[in-house]
A and B are shown apart, each in its own frame.
Chain A
Amino acid sequence: GNSVTQMEGPVTLSEEAFLTINCTYTATGYPSLFWYVQYPGEGLQLLLKATKADDKGSNKGFEATYRKETTSFHLEKGSVQVSDSAVYFCALLSGSNYKLTFGKGTLLTVNP
């Protein structure tokens, strides 16, 4: 079956630090990959996506590249801000399967 594994949190960084949150997946076929962000007390928002190998998704300074050879979709940001503090979820959607499979989430805290 499909599964997503993302790095355990929590992650605590200082403002302007570099961020990497690792995500690897197991899936049949050629999944679409997503990063969602959940700010405190809110629902999930789509942060970025990639639908085929070597695609790079980007939004709000965050980037992630779909690496089929390593089955990975790591989230990166060059300089984090306090406002980036949130829980980040990696997720996949496999082929015609419309059911999202989520990782367990990574809590990021950015201190000023």
Chain B
Amino acid sequence: NAGVTQTPKFQVLKTGQSMTLQCAQDMNHEYMSWYRQDPGMGLRLIHYSVGAGITDQGEVPNGYNVSRSTTEDFPLRLLSAAPSQTSVYFCASSTGQAGGYGYTFGSGTRLTVV
């Protein structure tokens, strides 16, 4: 059981480049989310999805796009990378009873924008 898989683990981008961070889960979870982790800031929600075809913005959505065409996959797209997007990105998933079971997190993608 792979859980939540994120790729790549590390990435360096130049300002203005675009890229997609991949996230896949094999637990048939309805809910999926993207967070970014910055020193002294904890984790902040970027975008989330409650099921295939349904997405919504979190706390810090600017500069990011998401889509959810399948239950398993929830990619995060950076349209035009900026140094302020240098961060560690985590994808997480949960069942419908999120309060009871908590979230399962991927191992993260460390992104540096130069």
**Contact A89 B31, beta carbon cutoff 8 Å:** no
Decide: A93 near B98, CB < 8 A? Known: A43-B90, A99-B33: yes
**Residue from the set A49, A100, A103, A104 with the largest chain B CB neighbour count within 10 Å:** A100
CB-CB under 8 A from B50, the residues of chain A are 98
**Contact B100 A51, beta carbon cutoff 8 Å:** yes
CB-CB under 8 A from A31, the residues of chain B are 99
**Contact A102 B90, beta carbon cutoff 8 Å:** no
**Residue from the set B35, B42, B99 with the largest chain A CB neighbour count within 10 Å:** B99
- A4 to B, closest residue via Cβ: B42
CB distance from B39 to the nearest CB of A (A): 9
Binary contact readout B74-114 vs A (1 if CB under 8 angstroms, 0 otherwise): 00000000000000001010100011101111111000000
**Contact B107 A100, beta carbon cutoff 8 Å:** no
Q: Does B27 contact A (CB under 8 A)?
A: no
Q: Does A32 contact B (CB under 8 A)?
A: yes
Q: Which of A46, A99, A103, A105 contacts B102 (CB 8 A)?
A: A46
A92 to B41, CA, bound (A): 16
**Contact A99 B108, beta carbon cutoff 8 Å:** no
**Residue from the set B4, B102, B105, B108 with the largest chain A CB neighbour count within 10 Å:** B102
CB distance from B109 to the nearest CB of A (A): 10
Decide: A100 near B42, CB < 8 A? Known: A44-B90, A93-B98: no
Q: Does A69 contact B (CB under 8 A)?
A: no
Q: Add 12 more A-B contacts to A43-B106, A100-B45 (CB < 8 A).
A: A43-B105, A44-B90, A44-B92, A46-B102, A49-B102, A89-B42, A98-B50, A99-B45, A102-B44, A104-B40, A104-B41, A105-B42
Q: List 16 A-B contacts (CB under 8 A).
A: A34-B102, A43-B90, A43-B107, A44-B43, A46-B104, A49-B102, A89-B42, A93-B98, A100-B33, A100-B43, A102-B35, A102-B44, A103-B42, A104-B41, A104-B42, A105-B42
